[in-house]
Amino acid sequence: MNIYYSFILTLVGAAAIIICSTERKRRLYSERKNRYLQDVINQLDEQAKMIIKTDMALNRVQEELDKKITGLYTLHELGKKINSTLNIDDLFALIKPALVSKLGYSNALIVLKDKASGKIGVKTAIGYSDNEIKKIETRLNKEGFASPLLRKGKFLLVNSDMKKIEHEDIFSDIFKTELFLTAPIVARDLAVGFILMGNPSSYAKLTEGDVEILSILTSQIGTAIENTNLYTELFDSHQDLESRVKERTQELARLNEELQKLNKVKSDFVSAVSHELRTPLTSIKGYASILMTGKLGEVTPAQKERLQKIDKHSNSLTRLVNNLLDIARIESGRMQMDIRENSVKDMLDSVIDIITPQAKEKNIALKINVKVKPDRIKADPAQMERVFVNLLGNAVKFTPEKGRIIISCHENKGLVEFSVEDTGMGIPREDVEKVFEEFFRSDNALDQKVKGTGLGLSLVKKIIEAHKGRIWVESELGKGTKFTFTIPK
């Protein structure tokens, strides 16, 4: 029995041992498995940390890029406005709080140094009270701290994690900003001021990217200051020039008035003298003709010849006086042109009648070349006759024997253009411009020989001008002269 029991006990014991050991093994296995799973989880968790870190780094890059793009875009928008600003105060007014915020700051200052006094002045301030602005101005001026901020090409970047720079605490105190950035404004190669952008305390640290953006802004502002200065200078000099031109114009007007007065005095004088001359001339002429009739006694041939000369010379003197009077009358506006429609043909015919005898005398051919379609013009017929008689008379006078005179007429751009062309001696180049002047006589021998008053062409010009026309002359010495004039249709 005992053996039997012992056997059973042994068996149970063995079974228990086996079970225990299996159970232990199972537990060990499970523990190992748990540990393994825990390891896997921890490994995965480590990987998760890596993923987050990578993701964060990527986000930072992306953010920096976005910030730059926003900054550049904002500056681009601002630049367009700056470029169209020509007044320095308008320029600073463009720096608004929203712009500063878009660039990522809450505080901004634009500080300029006055050229004359050397005083530092705040032109724009964002995020500061009036009191604070005054304090900043006083401190910058008094303590002379502005000089490091006004160095050309020098940027100041104050970040919480950066090495301490000289005066940093003082600057932070002056500007009430923990993080800030300054950049000098350079105009015409000189630092004229500086810009500060900053935050009292910020999550976003300032980076090199911020320096770049601010330096673009300062160069924009620097250029704009340069431009506004140039514009102001230009504007001032323009104003100066304008006032000088005005002065000169007034002076000229005054001189012109004086000249006109003088001219009137002259005309009046000529007119008066001519009138005074006419009366005695008429008497001279009258008495000469009475003498010639022989009613007052026998006239010898020699006396008759002298009397004829008196008559001839007093005639030419009368003509001269009449011409002078007419010129004076036209000039003073006292002579009214009797403008009406005339037949060109009739007008020229009557002129030809007058001039033909003189031309025949010198065997000069007269040719008329008329192409006016409506063949009528609006003019004062008597004055026109004077014009032609004068021009043709001159042509005959200065054209040698067997020469030729051509009278032409045609329409040109709403004007009727007449010309008298001869094959005469011509006018020296230096005299061409002077032929219409009163009492002008050319210095050449023939002109001296040929008689004339020097008033004919002057009168012609006055008459043409009174018809709102224009007259000019083309001439070649030894070949001929061509007078052309126009009158409106």
Partner 1 sequence: MATILGTGISTKLDSFAAGKEAAQIAHYRIGKRNANIVIAFISTIFDQELAIKGIRSVIRDVPLIGCSSAGSIANSGISRGSISVSLIRSEAISFSLGIAKDVSKNSRSAGHEAAKQALSKSNRSKTTKSLMIFSDSLSGNSADILRGAQEMMGTSFPIIGGGAADELCFRKTYQYINNNIYTNSVAGLLFSGDINIGIGRAHGWQPVGKPHRITRSSANILKEIDRRPAIEIYEEYLGKSFEELKELGLGKLGVSYPFGIRLKEKNEYLVRSPLKAEDNGSLVLNAELPEGEDINLMIGDKNMALEATRKACMEAMGNIQNRNIRFIACFSNIGRYQLLRESSVKETEIIKEIFGENIPILGFYSYGEYASDFQNQAISIAVFSE
As measured in angstroms, the least distance from the Cβ of 99 to partner 1 is 5
Closer CB to partner 1, residue 62 or residue 283? 62
The span of 51-59, 143-151, 164-172, 446-454 binding partner 1 (CB under 8 A) equals: 51-59
Regarding 12 and contact with partner 1 (CB under 8 A), the answer is no
**Quick count: other Cβ atoms within 10 Å of Cβ 147?**
11
Q: Which tokens belong to 129?
A: 């009270």
Regarding 76 and contact with partner 1 (CB under 8 A), the answer is no
Please say whether the beta carbons of 183 and 215 come within 8 A: yes
In whole angstroms, give the CA distance from residue 132 to residue 115: 24
Q: What is the dihedral of CA 35, 41, 45, 51, to 10 degrees?
A: 140
- Residues in contact with partner 1, counted by CB under 8 A, come to a total of 28
Binding residue (CB under 8 A) for partner 1 from 66, 258, 433, 476: 66
In whole angstroms, give the CA distance from residue 367 to residue 281: 38
Residue 348 sits at the vertex; the CA angle it makes with 346 and 352, to the nearest 5 degrees, is 115
As measured in angstroms, the least distance from the Cβ of 100 to partner 1 is 8
The span of 13-21, 95-103, 213-221, 264-272 binding partner 1 (CB under 8 A) equals: 95-103
Task: Collect all residues with Cβ–Cβ distance below 8 Å to 236 and sequence separation of at least 6.
Answer: none
**Quick count: other Cβ atoms within 10 Å of Cβ 1?**
5
Binding residue (CB under 8 A) for partner 1 from 96, 238, 266, 340: 96
Binding residue (CB under 8 A) for partner 1 from 24, 25, 33, 49: 49
β-partners of residue 190 are 187
Query: Which whole-number Å values give the CA distances from 245 to 109, 130, 242, 257, in the listed order?
Result: 44, 47, 5, 18
Q: Which residue, 120, 152, 154, 155, is CA-closest to 135? A: 120
Closer CB to partner 1, residue 49 or residue 434? 49
Regarding 56 and contact with partner 1 (CB under 8 A), the answer is yes
* Contact flags string 145-164 toward partner 1, x per CB under 8 A: ---------------xx---
As measured in angstroms, the least distance from the Cβ of 48 to partner 1 is 3
As measured in angstroms, the least distance from the Cβ of 203 to partner 1 is 3
As measured in angstroms, the least distance from the Cβ of 69 to partner 1 is 9
Positions in the binding site for partner 1 (CB under 8 A): 41-42, 44-45, 48-49, 51-53, 55-56, 59, 62-63, 66, 70, 77, 96-99, 101-102, 160-161, 203-205
